[in-house]
Structures are given as C-alpha cells and as structure tokens.
Structure 1
Amino acid sequence: MSYTLHQLDVFACVAKNKSITKAAKELFMSQPAVSIQVKKLQEHFDIDLIEVIGKQLYLTDAGVELYNSQKKIKNELKALEMALDEFKGVMKGKLSVVVVSTAKYFMPYILGAFRNESPQVQISLKVTDRIEVTSQLEENECDLAVFSQLPDGIALEQIEFLSNPLVLAASPKHDLANKKNIQWKDLEEHDFLIRETGSGTRLVMERLFNQENINPKIVMELSTNEAVKQAIMAGIGISLVSRYSLSNEEKMGKISVLDVNGLPYVNNWKLVYPKGKKLSPVARSFIEFTKSRDILAIIG
C-alpha cells in the first residue's frame, strides 16, 4: 500500500495543531476521516507516528521525522511549480497572503488591483491575529505576510508599502471630542480601551504611554479592531486605532478623531517573508506591484 501527498498533508496538520479535532476543523474534514489518514500512514511505515497521553497528542520520534520531511517535500514541490511557471512565461499561479486583522481594511483593494492586472493568478487572503500570522511565517505556510510591528525572533525580509497613521479615537459625545491641541497629561484621567497582548497597536500604545509618562486607566481589553470601534461608539473609552479603519465611522459621525499633540503616530505597513525564502514569480510580481503603484490611490 502506497501513501499519498494528501495523507502527508493531513498528518502535518495534525502535527502542527497537536490535535486531530483542530486539524479536522482546519481541513474541513471529519475527525474520523483525519484519523483514518493518519492510521493509513502508520500502517504503511509500520511505526507509531503519534501517541496520546491523557488528553494530549504528542509526536513520536518517527512522527517528528516525518513532519520535518513533509515540510521539505512541500517546499520542493513549491520550487518545482515556480520553475515550471517561469518556463511558461505566464503570470499564473497562486499567491497566499496572511495579514494581521487591521490590514483587512486595505489589503483586499490592493490584491484586487493586482489581480485585475494578472487575472490568471489565484489569491488566498487570510486575516488573523498577530500570533497566527507569525506561526504561518515560521511554518512557511504563506508566500507573504503583512505587519506594521514586526515580530521578534524571526529573521525577515521586509518591504514597506503603505504608511500607517494611528490616531486616538473617541465617541463624538466624549468630553475631548471637540477640544484642540489636547496634551497627553489631559488624557490620564480618561478611560482607555486596549487591544489584546501581542497586538501591534497595543505595542505602540504602551510605547506612547511610557514615552509621555502617563498611566491611564485601562477599562477594557478587546481582541479585534472591530470590537474596539464598537466599544468607542458605545462611549466606554478612547483608544489608539489605525486611521484606515475609521473612514466609514467618521463619515457617519459615529467616531471622532481626537486632536492630540504629537498624533497621528505614523509607522509603516510591511510585506514580509523569511530571510532565505525563494519567492514565487507571482510573489515577486506582487512586491514589484506595490513598489510601482500609487497604493493610496488604490485604497481610496
């Protein structure tokens, strides 16, 4: 009995998640179907690849070896596809991009404009949290990722392609909504909302608090930018948010940008990939697209 690439992929997903349940959810398969594929691999190699102790799944030494080999095989297959695409001389293939949640406000427009010029390219865009984006980079599961604040511990190539102005936003009914030239010390008595630990926006916000030597009251921690905006509109507090995420709410008069001395704080959005990674022709073409086009005009 021979094994298949599909079985290797299923096993790799189990190994990555250390859970058949999580792997089944990610692969849109039933748990029994995932278990069967792993069992067939074990039968083929005549060795245990996983073991369950208590309720925790672990890889055996053989399982670790197979998982590492599967990643090498996937990389070789990607390299083969890239080489064949270059032989054909056609901008055709797949582009997988994974982005932190705030980038969802502009990346669809940029990717859409790119595909208008290269209609044979298939694009996958995954929007998730910073931890998952970092994991996708480490596991080589995407072509490119998008951050504003780079993660620690990974050697990355980076291409800045868009400014990221961060502003303090509040409900239009907030006491500070119509004040001019607000000083940071004036903010200390007001309630603040903050993103979850690890969020790039939170990292900048904490840096600004330290820089301005203030210790404001944090009344709520939220896991998404959308949740932060809803809490701002509900009048719960003020928070630092990307200007790109506020266009609709500002136009509708639901959120006000505060006139704070020294803001907006501007950093840059970056396309990143691991150092040493060989990019596909499509990924290289997309990077060149972001360098040669007016991105601000594209996102409106």
Structure 2
Amino acid sequence: MNYTLHQLHVFFKISQTQSITRAAEELHLTQPAVSIQLKNFQDQFEIPLTEVISRRIYLTDFGWEIARAAEKILTETHAINNRILAHKGLLYGRLTVSVVSTGKYVMPYFLSGFMRQHEGLELVMDVTNRQKVIASLAKNEVDFALVSILPQQLNVQQLDLMPNKLYLVGRRLDDSSLLSDDPGQLEKLPLIYRENGSGTRSIMETFITDHQLVVRKRLELTSNEAVKQALLAGLGYSVMPLIGIKNELLTNELQIIPIKGLPLQTSWMLIWHKDKQFSPVAQAYLSYLRANKEMIVQASFDWYQQF
C-alpha cells in the first residue's frame, strides 16, 4: 500500500460530511479532484470503503474502520508538526472565529497579517447568520465572534475594530418627488429586508419604528449579498452596511439615497465570552489586534471616509 496523507485527509473528510460535494467545499477542492483521490485510495484496498445508495455515498463497516484509523494518523501528524514548531519557538495551534455574513468584508483584513506572521497556525473562520454566530460563542465552539450588535443574552467582552455605517441604498431615483431627505420618503419606496434575527434588519426596523413610519416590504432575503443583487436588479431599496457595497458605489451602479438621520452607525466588534480561557494563539491574536487595528483600518479601509 502507498496511500498518502492527502488521501487520508480527503477520505476522513468524506466520512465526516457523507458527501463528495461538501467534502470538496470544505477542502477547497473541486468535486472531480475529491472523487479521483477517493478512487485512488479505494484502489489500494480489496474491500469496498464506500457504497452509493440512491445517489448518496455511505461508508461500509470497513470504511468506518479506516476512517477512524485515518483520524488517529492525521491527529498524530498534526501533533508532530506542532512539536516541530514548538522546538523552533514558533506559535502553533488553531484560531477559530465565527463571523456574521456581512463581516466577510471586514474580518479577513484583520486576520491576514497575523496569519502571515505565524505560518504554523490553522485558521477556522465560519461565515454564517447572526443567530448561529451567537450560538457558537455561547457553546464555546469558537475563540471569537465578529458582530455589529452586541448580544443581549451573553456576558461578553469586546474590542471595537472599525465603524459600521448603514445607508439607504438603491438605484438612482428618477421621480423628483422622492428626492426629499425626509425619513417619510421610506414610505414611498419598496423596501427589501434581511431575515429575522439579522443585525442589519434590527437596525433598519429600529429606525422605521422611531420615526413611526408605515413602509412597504417587497422582499425578505437571507444575506446582504442577495439584497445587493436585488438592489442592482431594481427591485427596491434597503438600509445596508457601507462595507459591502464599495465597488457598486464607486461605479455608480448603486447610490446612497440621502435621508435625514442616516447613516446609522454601530461598530464592527470582536467579542468573546467573559469567562473564556484563551489559548496562547487566541491571546496572541488579541494582543496583535490591540496593537495593529488602527493601522489595518488606515491601510485597508481608507475609502470608507469618502461616504
């Protein structure tokens, strides 16, 4: 037998996901590449590792035995690599971060420099909706979370990274009767909402409630990216974070609709549970951010001041 660590890794990921497609996504490989690695791995065994039933892949009993062995081998390999780094005096381990969906435009810039400094680190960043982000933090599944609204149900500490500005955004208004900056203008526009539980939706609804407006909700969508595409298609208008629409504003595909009281502003915050016991990696990352966050904002978000 001459199987590789890469094949073991691919097979173990298939055992975890029970799906070629999902394994490919999590490994950042193409589906054909994963299928080829699985075939090459299977060819080294006379007993089947998997079987396909109703177009779904399942591990055989023998396949599960091999998957458990693969997990042990991969764990030991990871431990060996960590020991090598430790002997070199380098930081090693895993950093885990959960990020609300719009935070994908923010968080990578606050991670890249740290990861370049410590090549032995493994980063796990989950980009998901706000409810899942808070749940991950509550279950102690992650070191940090990136949010724009503090959770009320958790006792957390925070580090503010940069402002989060929210404007009314859409395609250019042609009706001159709608060019007033009165908040009542929102009653005349078809509005696109984020889903319940979204921080962006919460901020938008607070503004509408505070001004006692009766508005038309045309659509409800589950990500800011989906909202942006709907705006580009001319389906309506929405209160959106500035951070996700840079290119569309600079190319005039979308415009900010001036409304008195906007932009609304919160902060992009890195938060962690008050009782969290930091690993050396998490502690080093927090120290890095405290020392470098202003430089990162100046270097990567200078355009932010234009709006």
Could you say whether these structures have the same fold, taking a TM-score greater than 0.5 normalized by the shorter chain as the test? yes
Shift, 1:166, TM fit = 0.8
Aligned pairs for 1:1-300 (under 5 A) are 24=18, 28=23, 31-32=58-59, 90-173=90-173, 175=175, 179=179, 182-293=181-292, 294-300=295-301
Contact 1:95 1:124 in 2 (8 A): yes
Distance of 2:114 and 2:178 partners within structure 1: 40
Distance of 1:174 and 1:126 partners within structure 2: 40
Distance of 1:131 and 1:171 partners within structure 2: 30
Distance of 2:140 and 2:89 partners within structure 1: 25
- 1:126-174 CA distances to partner (integer Å, 9 max, x unpaired)? 1111122122112222111111112332222222111101111011255
Tell me, what secondary structure is at the counterpart of 1:287?
helix
Q: Percent identity?
A: 30
Distance of 2:89 and 2:210 partners within structure 1: 52
Distance of 1:257 and 1:278 partners within structure 2: 43
Tell me, what secondary structure is at the counterpart of 1:206?
helix
Question: Residues 98 and 177 (structure 1 numbering): CA distance in 2 closer, same or farther, change over 3 Å?
Answer: farther
Contact 1:177 1:256 in 2 (8 A): no
Contact 2:86 2:92 in 1 (8 A): no
- Residue matched to 1:18: none
Tell me, what secondary structure is at the counterpart of 1:124?
strand
Contact 1:144 1:272 in 2 (8 A): yes
Distance of 2:241 and 2:283 partners within structure 1: 27
- Residue matched to 1:56: none
Displacement over 6 Å in runs of 4+: 85-88
5+ residue gaps, structure 2, are 1-14, 24-49, 51-56, 69-81, 302-307
Distance of 2:160 and 2:87 partners within structure 1: 30
Task: With the length of structure 1 as denominator, give the TM-score of the two structures.
Answer: 0.69
Tell me, what secondary structure is at the counterpart of 1:95?
strand
Question: Residues 117 and 131 (structure 1 numbering): CA distance in 2 closer, same or farther, change over 3 Å?
Answer: same
Tell me, what secondary structure is at the counterpart of 1:146?
strand
Contact 2:190 2:237 in 1 (8 A): yes
- Larger mean CA deviation between 134-143 and 22-31 belongs to 22-31
Task: With the length of structure 2 as denominator, give the TM-score of the two structures.
Answer: 0.68
Distance of 1:203 and 1:251 partners within structure 2: 27
- 1:73-124 CA distances to partner (integer Å, 9 max, x unpaired)? xxxxxxxxx9xx9998532221111100000112112211222233332212
Give the aligned residue type for 1:143. D
Contact 1:201 1:241 in 2 (8 A): yes
RMSD, matched Cα:
3.4
Contact 2:90 2:118 in 1 (8 A): no
Distance of 1:235 and 1:191 partners within structure 2: 10
Shift, 1:223, TM fit = 0.4
Distance of 2:150 and 2:87 partners within structure 1: 35
Contact 1:171 1:177 in 2 (8 A): no
Distance of 1:88 and 1:195 partners within structure 2: 48
Tell me, what secondary structure is at the counterpart of 2:151?
coil
5+ residue gaps, structure 1, are 1-20, 42-81
Tell me, what secondary structure is at the counterpart of 1:188?
helix
Contact 1:170 1:232 in 2 (8 A): yes
